[in-house]
Amino acid sequence: MSQPSNTPIVNPMPKVIVILFMISAAVEITFILAQAQFIGGTNGIGWRQYAVTTYGVNSSLLPWMIDNSYFPMEHLIRFVTYSFIHGGTMQAAIASALFLAIGRMVGHVFSWWAVLIIYFGSALVGAAAYSMFGPEGNWLFGSFPAVYGLIGAYTFMMWVALRAQNGNQNQAFYLIAMLMAIQLLFEFIFSGKSEWIPDLSGFVFGFLVCFMLAPGGLQRVIGLIRRD
């Protein structure tokens, strides 16, 4: 009589992805409860806006710090904390769904520390790019630049797999092309805040840093490329 298999039908979510999601979810739940005045009283209604201005990134911040050669930690930390603050529950829900879907795939290939580098590095690069090239005075918040960094890592995984199989490597970039097209369309119609800048910057960072973080390291990737 065969022994029952202990292999799970569905691979569990990587712990690092769960932890990052729980932080973001805890922040959003706090805002929801505050908006309903379950916590914070009447002052709770303004907690989200206060968090944006206290922990978000204003596009004028980095140029100001560079011009004054002044880089206080209270402002530098914004380039990380903004990724856990969303402008509304709908934005948080969409970002979380995308994060869990892409993060699950990336987290099963890359180590936990590599995922953290991709996530926070993409958030930082995205915020820096928005500060330098985005509309002056706009606020950046939300996890999309970091999520796009994970999409960059996923694209790298697909690119390597297609290259190994002698497939059409351009197919690896279909997802980011589709997402960017949709985002540009919505920004043209509704926003005009150039939020594609931090997202695309996060994607580029996430893709390129994988050459160093990929299992087997840079030499394995170079070997695969030279094999062609």
pLDDT in tens, 109-146: 899 999 999 999 999 999 999 999 988 889 999 999 99
Across 176-180, average pLDDT:
81
Determine whether 40 is exposed, middle or buried from the number of CB atoms within 10 Å of its CB (0-12, 13-18, 19+). Answer: middle
pLDDT attached to residue 185: 72
Least confident of 2-11, 24-33, 95-104: 2-11
pLDDT attached to residue 165: 76
Q: Give 80-107 pLDDT, tens digit per residue.
A: 999 999 999 999 999 999 999 999 999 9
Say yes or no to pLDDT of 10 above 80.
no
pLDDT attached to residue 175: 78
pLDDT attached to residue 162: 82
* 8-state DSSP, 103: H
161 confidence band (pLDDT: 50, 70, 90): confident
Determine whether 35 is exposed, middle or buried from the number of CB atoms within 10 Å of its CB (0-12, 13-18, 19+). Answer: middle
Say yes or no to pLDDT of 182 above 90.
no
| Strand segments (E) across the chain | 57-58, 139-140
Say yes or no to pLDDT of 9 above 70.
no
Q: For residues 114 and 127, what is the distance between their CA atoms, to the nearest angstrom?
A: 20
* 8-state DSSP, 190: I
Q: For residues 145 and 206, what is the distance between their CA atoms, to the nearest angstrom?
A: 10
Say yes or no to pLDDT of 6 above 80.
no
Say yes or no to pLDDT of 219 above 50.
yes
pLDDT attached to residue 190: 56
Mean pLDDT across the chain, nearest whole number? 86
Q: Give 62-71 pLDDT, tens digit per residue.
A: 999 999 999 9
